[in-house]
Chain A
């Protein structure tokens, strides 16, 4: 699986949009970009995933660049409960066999 690079930490004011970047310059054509988050002392929570097109769900939006070498997770109106470590993961398309490999992630702190 391709490696990802994320900033180790970010702050965002409550109510503002949190934009979390991820670089995955070695991503291959059949690899998806996944985002998970982990709130302190809990299991990771799935947020969103995408292949080429931008995606949106009730939690967040995922913007993938045209060359797919980077992406941005957007939390449109951050709340204090969004404070967590956010992991960007690239995973192959052979869903039956591949596993999720976690990097160090971005520790997002929402400031009141």
Chain B
């Protein structure tokens, strides 16, 4: 199947700083990418949907000014957590949609563990 990578895999930052997470589709072009957040022992919660070249669509309750998403190319989307606080500590997972004939499969990255101290 298609491969999606994330960088970094783990990051620790101080409260008040910003952190950027990259999501790349390695062997296909992804017109749509998704960002999820997962707290311990909970399910994945969709944060936003990003389409290449346009503004991201955020889910209800997700602050768009705090979680900046850029999808500047067909293989790269970035999530920037601005002015991070300890409550932003979470597992952030991206996924990319691969358009196949008649269907769109969605592949997930390995996740980024963010810890805000």
Chain A residues in contact with chain B, CB under 8 A?
Answer: 36, 38, 41-46, 87, 95-96, 99-105
B43 touches A99 (CB 8 A): no
Other-chain residue from A95, A101, A105 in contact with B103 (beta carbon distance below 8 A): A95
Contacts known (A95-B103, A95-B104, A99-B34); A43 close to B111, Cβ less than 8 A = yes
A38 to B91, CA, bound (A): 13
A43 to B113, CA, bound (A): 11
Other-chain residue from B6, B105, B110 in contact with A46 (beta carbon distance below 8 A): B105
B110 touches A43 (CB 8 A): yes
User: Which of A38, A87, A96, A99 has its CB near the most chain B CB atoms (within 10 A)?
Assistant: A99
Closest B residue to A94 by beta carbon equals: B104
A42 touches B110 (CB 8 A): yes
Tell me what chain B mostly uses at the interface: helix, strand, loop, or mixed: strand
Task: Report the minimum CB–CB distance from B80 to chain A (whole Å).
Answer: 20
B78: interface (CB < 8 Å)? no
A42 to B36, CA, bound (A): 13
Given contacts A45-B108, A100-B46, A102-B36, 9 further A-B contacts (CB under 8 A): A41-B113, A42-B110, A43-B108, A43-B111, A46-B108, A101-B46, A102-B46, A103-B43, A105-B43
Per-position binary interface string of chain B over residues 15-40, scored 1 when its CB falls under 8 Å from any chain A CB and 0 otherwise: 00000000000000000001010000
A100 touches B106 (CB 8 A): yes
B44: interface (CB < 8 Å)? yes
Task: Report the minimum CB–CB distance from B8 to chain A (whole Å).
Answer: 14
A100 to B105, CA, bound (A): 10
